[in-house]
Chains A and B, each alone.
Chain A
């Protein structure tokens, strides 16, 4: 493994462990209460629908069939909250690749090493990807285990497919933050623009289903390629996932090219 990748993984380690603990706690809490929901499905379905009327319901992903294993898993894990957490984790790690060390002034010394600038960005990106992958894999195992224990009756293959999408959407936004940071060197800018795109993208995809005025915009939302295929119910939306992956690759390439031609730390 390249030295810089190894070094960057070391820098990320504590943060990765922190996010893992947080996301795992969230998953354990929510998936462990499923049995009580299953035992009283009408009540909880009704409660969910009355708690989130109208457009709020759409924002929560429709809340259809929340008392079924698949519906519950989609609503509490794969719809909004866990993607939100994992995207935050990814964007934090993404900005720490270039923008944060540049603002701290620690990047300058790294740049005086005989490391090619492209190599520097790609190594940092690879370490970010590996760290995020570690979080995704551990949480996947946890969801599979909790789904089995709670008897959610969701095929394991569908959980893997949904989790892969979860990883990809976070990978996309983390790479976006990394790219914005590599292009500008500004952490706050990267987080604001990346976060803004994530929120707008989510709203457009979920509300766009019932609001015609914005539904044509759904194709620019990364969430469209994650949520529209309903992987928890239908398995791998391979084409959609490839779109996210392709967009991520384009972003990473942009990061390399932008960083290649810029003054650092000015």
Chain B
């Protein structure tokens, strides 16, 4: 099976500044690939290389088996930019019609259908769209031609929660239809519900590619238990994957790496009144990968 996206040693320098270094990656058909990293890590650089807006310093990238320079490739991609700039007096609907025409036309009513779904007002002039509406226009033009590959760059930043919900549903539909998605984000929570695999990029380098399930297992969580009576600290020491244990009377604070199983079993011996578990902090996952970077980095399915 040909990979939908395949890069080999893909490298981009802006003058002396490194944008992306030696990216080797494969995204398979039907896969939803989450591309995670802090701002400035190289996510947008990768995406712009795949779209042929910028050209690699070295290495190569193919999409659907063809070089990214091949114009026809972009006909099969849908892409809403992270920072979408729209200007001018043209009405949003006319602009979308233009985009559709260049793409060889989309089925009748498709634009209106998407607009209704996202609750976008397309009668507004492009230069006067609110940030939310601008994002919606970006989403509509990316989804309207039912592309085989969706490339989403920080797609939910600036969307209000209802639209975000609708948008994630649309991504899931794309996945159900067997099409491929590359979705970048700096928030794990944004991709973990839709992505099959996640690549983590940091300072221009891909440091890890993991199944989402595996990543979650490796995630660092802060956990708090409150019991009905003071507990002995010894009961929680030397548990697998549990560290930084502090006990203050009837409450326990600790950090877990990976599975919470051992901790839960230990806590079950007492009466638990209340429990707080923070969402895994991506920053800490980064730090985990950072410290053991090289050995775990592997790419491809």
Contacts and interface: CB of A to CB of B under 8 A. Distances in A.
Interface of A: 3-4, 7, 10-11, 14, 101, 104-106, 108-109, 111-116, 261-266
12 contacts: A3-B102, A4-B102, A14-B89, A105-B83, A108-B48, A108-B53, A109-B84, A112-B77, A112-B81, A115-B102, A263-B54, A266-B54
A10 B97 CA distance: 14
Contacts of B141: 109
Contacts of B74: 112-114
A57 B99 CA distance: 53
Contact of A113 (B84, B86, B103, B138): B103
B99 A104 contact: no
Given A11-B88, A112-B77, A113-B103, 19 more contacts: A3-B101, A4-B102, A101-B87, A104-B85, A105-B83, A105-B85, A109-B85, A111-B52, A112-B53, A112-B79, A114-B71, A114-B72, A115-B102, A261-B55, A263-B14, A263-B54, A263-B55, A264-B53, A265-B48
B90 interface: yes
Contact of A7 (B71, B81, B98): B98
Nearest to B77: A112
B87 A106 contact: yes
B131 to A, nearest CB: 14
A108 B86 CA distance: 10
B201 interface: no
A101 B53 CA distance: 14
Q: Of A101, A105, A113, which is in contact with the most chain B CB atoms at under 10 Å from its CB?
A: A113
Contacts of A4: 102
A111 B102 CA distance: 11
A113 to B, nearest CB: 5
Contacts of B87: 101, 104, 106
B71 A10 contact: no
Contacts of B48: 108, 265
Contacts of A263: 14, 53-55
A9 B83 CA distance: 26
A108 B54 contact: no
A261 B69 CA distance: 11
A98 B182 CA distance: 29
B71 A115 contact: yes
Contacts of A108: 48, 53, 81, 85
B178 interface: no
A266 B86 CA distance: 18
Contact of A114 (B75, B81, B90): B75
B51 interface: yes
Given A114-B74, A116-B71, A109 B81 contact: yes
Contacts of A109: 81, 84-86, 99, 138, 141
Contacts of B71: 114-116
Q: Of A108, A116, A265, which is in contact with the most chain B CB atoms at under 10 Å from its CB?
A: A108
Contacts of B81: 108-109, 112
A4 B53 CA distance: 18
Contact of B53 (A11, A114, A115, A265): A265
Contacts of A106: 85-88
Contacts of A262: 55
A41 to B, nearest CB: 49
Contact of A111 (B51, B88, B90): B51
A109 B48 CA distance: 11
Contacts of B99: 109, 113
Contacts of B14: 263, 266
A262 B52 CA distance: 10
A266 B13 CA distance: 11
A111 B53 contact: yes
